[in-house]
Amino acid sequence: MLKFGRFALLGSAALVFALAPAPLRAQDSKASTDKTEAEWNAQKVEAKRSQVDATAGAALDKLLKENSAAKELYEKAYGWAAFDNLKLGFFFSGGGGKGVAVAKKTGKRTYMSMGSAGFGLAFGGKKYEVVFLFQDSATFNAFVDKGWQAQGAANATAGNANVGGQTGFVNGMAIYQISGTGLMAQVDLSGTKYFKDKELN
């Protein structure tokens, strides 16, 4: 009887949790997000840079591993930049994220932010990583120093039958968007701005 009673108690507890009001769970989720944001804000600049470097480097590595055409362009590129909305995006209001732009020859890093044009708008729940490859110093420096805004959806040329991505530079850039399922055949960054991060530089 004692053993049965324990199982009955556990079953009742599980039922109470399952029937808990949805708003309570939402509040718990928000509290968790607020805590994570607070933890990010509490980190020193060096720690934030390291975290951005790690996520950006992982995005680049994933791209080069998945797409041979991108790897060839990377070898020719003056520099690259990678932004993470997947791991870092929830730290920032408006659905933004962080990234870094790197000049290959010198290794100089410029930390940057990404966000919607209105900053009150979210990305509609999209979670993704973006990698830019820059053909020359002029394009790279303009992106870093002046910032860049995507005016609309950009249709990337398919690299092969299974993996999407640009096979050449267009206006000095090649852009790749990676979702949770892998490299996307169509890049859609409409309304997204990229600009220097004042805190991390």
Domain definitions of the chain by residue range: 1-42, 45-196
The answer to whether 112 touches 99, Cβ cutoff 8 Å, is yes
Q: Which residue has the higher pLDDT, 194 or 161?
A: 194
User: φ, ψ for residue 131 (rounded to 5)?
Assistant: -120, 130
What are the pLDDT digits (tens) for 85-116? 754 444 444 457 899 999 999 999 999 998 86
Report how far residue 82's alpha carbon sits from residue 154's, in angstroms, rounded to the nearest whole number: 17
Fill in the amino acid letter for 72: E
Nearest partner of 104 among 43, 60, 165, judged by Cα:
60
The percent of residues above 90 in pLDDT, for the chain, comes to: 43
Mean pLDDT for 47-76 is 94
The answer to whether 142 touches 113, Cβ cutoff 8 Å, is no
The answer to whether 187 touches 155, Cβ cutoff 8 Å, is yes
Answer whether 0.75 is exceeded by the pTM.
Answer: no
Q: Which residue has the higher pLDDT, 73 or 180?
A: 73
184 pLDDT above the threshold of 80: no
**pLDDT band for position 183 (cuts 50, 70, 90):** confident
The total of other beta-carbon atoms located within 10 Å of residue 140's CB is 25
**143, HSE (Cβ side, Cα atoms, 13 Å):** 33
Task: Provide the angle, in degrees to the nearest 10, between the axes of the packed helices 68-76 and 45-66.
Answer: 120
Most confident by average pLDDT, 44-48, 87-91, 98-102, 184-188: 98-102
Mean model confidence pLDDT for the chain:
74
The percent of residues above 70 in pLDDT, for the chain, comes to: 61
What are the pLDDT digits (tens) for 130-169? 999 999 999 999 999 999 988 654 444 333 333 456 778 9
**pLDDT band for position 34 (cuts 50, 70, 90):** low
The total of other beta-carbon atoms located within 10 Å of residue 152's CB is 9
What pLDDT does residue 187 have? 77
Question: Helix (H, G, I), strand (E, B), or coil: what is residue 77?
Answer: coil
What pLDDT does residue 117 have? 55
Report how far residue 86's alpha carbon sits from residue 84's, in angstroms, rounded to the nearest whole number: 5
